[in-house]
Amino acid sequence: MASIVMGIGVSHTPLLALTVDQWQRRAEVDFANTGLNHSDGRLVTYEQLLAEVGPRYEHEVNFETYSQRAKACDQALDHLGDVLTEVAPDVLVIVGDDQRELFTSANQPAMAIYHGERFVTSNKYGHPDSPDWIQQMGRGYMMDNSHTVTASSELALALIKRLMDADFDVGACSHVAHPEVAGFGHAYGFIIKRLFRGKPIPVLPVLINTYYGPNVPSARRCHDFGLALGRALHDYPQDLRVGVVASGGLSHFIVDEVLDHTILQALKSGDHQALRELPRGALNSGSSEILNWVVTAGAVKTLPLKWHSYQTLRRTPAGTGVGAAFALWQA
């Protein structure tokens, strides 16, 4: 039978794919964002946020602080890469969200599993006329070109059938029809590029619609889906060692340390009910990627949280940025 041998949680913010001197480019995106998300569900402009909280984080917006926090994140990513190399799972299930890279509003499943023998990444950020920082981000996300990745077709098909029998109506994706138009995105490319170190680990993509209404699943539904996914993996008859990865999160684009530490404490203590009860208002926009962690926590419930790391990556005086988290579940 298959066994889940590890779980990983990884933020995939563009800041981790950029050089520190390029972080200000993401701040410029925040200044122009008219839907910055508070954890109470409100969406505001940067000017409204600044008027509400003031420039309280201005002391963090400097190259020295950026460098220190980027180094801490790199060390966390290196640690997870080391463990992944040591454990060497036979297949890695990556739970991520699609941000109009593969799917569009014409067809947006709430939950989907890819069951092809290989998949192709989007080349969305590979245009040679794009700014340097966009091309840098594209390389970090494997979205600078159409890269082909080995998948895990047989296991994926078995999981789809088992989850359907467990009353989860998952979408089933068999191939990337037009790689020059749409392909797999940053939630998958970042993990492969940053943690795999060139090793050919088969990937089983699970896609959760965290971003786009009206069919975003609740935290409760995501957790229950994760539990069912974990059971389906354990019941798979072949002897496979499986890892599960949560890609994305935590809070952004307004950093909410209280929310982030609430989630990390729930993961540490095994308080799965707290994860199930996360309100929808706290899970809008970038913070919606927390749902990928909720799915993964359900899937690896039999494993304890062994290690975690957290950094606030604020890039503006009003506190926009990312709560960057990294975690390891392992027996």
Q: What is the pLDDT of residue 1?
A: 87
pLDDT at 289 > cutoff 90: yes
Average pLDDT, the chain: 97
Closest listed residue to residue 253, CA positions, set 185, 321, 163: 321
Please state the domain extents for the chain.
Answer: 3-326
Q: What is the pLDDT of residue 170?
A: 98
The CA distance from 110 to 217, in Å, is 6
Tell me the pLDDT tens digit for each residue of 93-106. 999 999 999 999 99
The yes or no reply on domain 3-326 and CATH 3.40.830.10 is yes
Q: What is the pLDDT of residue 180?
A: 87
The CA distance from 40 to 208, in Å, is 22
What DSSP string describes 41-88? Answer: S-EE-HHHHHHHH-STTGGG-SHHHHHHHHHHHHHHHHHHHHHHHHH-
Contact assessment for residue 218 and residue 280, using Cβ atoms and an 8 Å cutoff: yes
pLDDT at 256 > cutoff 90: yes
Tell me the sheet residues that pair with 43. 37
Tell me the pLDDT tens digit for each residue of 226-253. 999 999 999 999 999 999 999 999 999 9
The CA distance from 174 to 168, in Å, is 18
Structure tokens at 51: 């008027």
Tell me the pLDDT tens digit for each residue of 124-176. 999 999 999 999 999 999 999 999 999 999 999 999 999 999 999 999 999 99
Q: What is the pLDDT of residue 42?
A: 97
Q: Give CA angle at 285 (62, 120), nearest 5°.
A: 95
> Hey, what amino acid is at 33?
N
Q: What is the pLDDT of residue 277?
A: 98
Q: In what order do the strands lie in the sheet with 91-97?
A: 171-173, 111-114, 203-208, 91-97, 241-247, 3-10, 321-329, 305-314
Helix residue ranges, H only, 93-245: 132-140, 153-165, 186-195, 219-234
Question: Which helix (H) or strand (E) element contains residue 204?
Answer: strand 203-208
